[in-house]
Structures are given as structure tokens and as C-alpha cells.
Amino acid sequence: MGNLYISRGEADALKSIELRELERLVDEAAWQSRSGELHSLRLASCGLFVSQRLYRLDQAIVAHNKAKAAKKRSETADDVRRAGMDLIYAVRDMKSRLEEEEREQQLLWIDDAIWTPRHFTPNLSVRINYRWRDAAEGDWTHGSITFLHEVDVRPDYISPAPARKPTRAKQEDELQEKLYRVWEHLRSSGQQSVQEYLKSGQDRTLIPESFQATIDSYSRHLNNYSTQFWRGVSGPASI
């Protein structure tokens, strides 16, 4: 599955949190050196960006409670306050991102639910479905673009050869893992490129039905520009 947008579950959790209540509970956690009340909020369901900062606050409180010397307690108290502010900023940033996404999705949407294939071949493809409209009350125009990429599976002679030749099964596992990583890059990059183009104001009818991803001339791998399909369509050369 993709991660272009905040998931519905994460969005519901973010909407349930009032920033003033969060700030109050963070202050209380710092003062009382315990974060129990904070866990009554749905912070752990707000996505990795928020849950990691909640974890860091919990760890900072644990370290503060273990500290004995006055200097160490002063330092760990500062760590708790910083971790608390980081948590507040993270929730605030994610709520702002959610509001921006919801405004954007009134006019354009990119399919974020792309299932990972069970088996990969070097000839990779990812189909991205999308829709757009000029006004929130208008009709949707639907489209799709398939990004194609042939993975170079030739041995990397720069890396040292293993001391013992891996079994055929091991080689297949390593190949599948490599192809999966490349496919993930192709998927994520393709989604972002479609989103970037749809938001750019350029002629959306120029999006091709398929696009052969370009590769870095030196590494032979995909890079940050590989799925910029507008470089291969007639019309605007850049956005």
C-alpha cells in the first residue's frame, strides 16, 4: 500500500486531538514526570511522525525519573520539555498537512492504494490512477499512467564477491528483495510525479498513458527525476 496521503485512521485520530488539551497534558506530564494522561489521547494512532515523538517523550520521562544528581535532573527535565514541545509541533504539523490534503483532494486525487505484487520480474510496472477537476462542484476527469522500468540485474562488480557462492534459493530471495525495493521506489516516485504535475497548473490532458522511467547514466539506477514524465510529453518542458 502507498503512503502518499494520511490514512483515514490517522486522519480520524488527528481530528480527535485538540491542541490546547494536548498542550495542557504535555505541561502536566512534564510537571508530574509521567505521561499517563497523554496516552488517553489517540496519539499512537496519528502516524509514525507523531508516535515516535510520543515514544521519545516517554523515554525522556523515564530518564528523568531515574536521575538522582541535581545537575542530571536539571538536564533531563530540559530533555522532557523539549520532547514535549516536539510532540506538540509534530501534531500541529500533521493537522496542518491533513487540512492541506483535504483541500487538495477537492480538486485532485491520486490512487494511494496500490497493492504490492507477490512476485517480481526485472520488467517492472506500476499503474497510477488519478482524477482531477477544475472546481469542487465540477465533474471528475479520470486517467491513469503506467510507469515502466527494466531493472539491470547484472552483477555489481564493484562490490566484493562473497566468500561462498550463495545457493540458487538465496540468490532468488536476494533478487526478489532488490526488485521489491526498486518497485517501491518506482511506485512512490510515480505517485509524487503525478501529484506534482496535477498541482502545477499545466495541461493535464498531456499526461501520457505510459512512461518509460529514465535511469541515472552513471549508476544505471532510478533517481529523483526518473518518473518526471513531462520531460517526455509535447508541451511545457518544465513545471
**CA 91 to CA 22: how far, in whole Å?**
9
Residue 232 confidence (pLDDT)? 58
Amino acid at site 233: V
pLDDT beneath 50: ranges in the chain:
234-238
What are the cell numbers at 59? Answer: 523515554
The full set of domain ranges for the chain reads 8-104, 108-232
Three-class DSSP category at 129: strand
The three-state secondary structure class of 214 is coil
DSSP letter at 136?
Answer: T
For residue 155, give every residue at least 6 positions away whose Cβ sits within 8 Å of its Cβ, in sequence order, or none: none
Q: In Å, what is the CA distance from 232 to each residue of 27, 73, 102, 117, 121?
A: 54, 60, 30, 27, 25
Q: What is the pLDDT of residue 239?
A: 52
Q: What is the pLDDT of residue 235?
A: 44
The pLDDT value given to residue 236: 43
Contact between residue 169 and residue 182 where contact means Cβ atoms under 8 Å apart? no
94-125 tens-digit pLDDT: 999 999 999 999 999 999 889 999 999 999 99
CA atoms of 51 and 26, how far apart (whole Å): 14
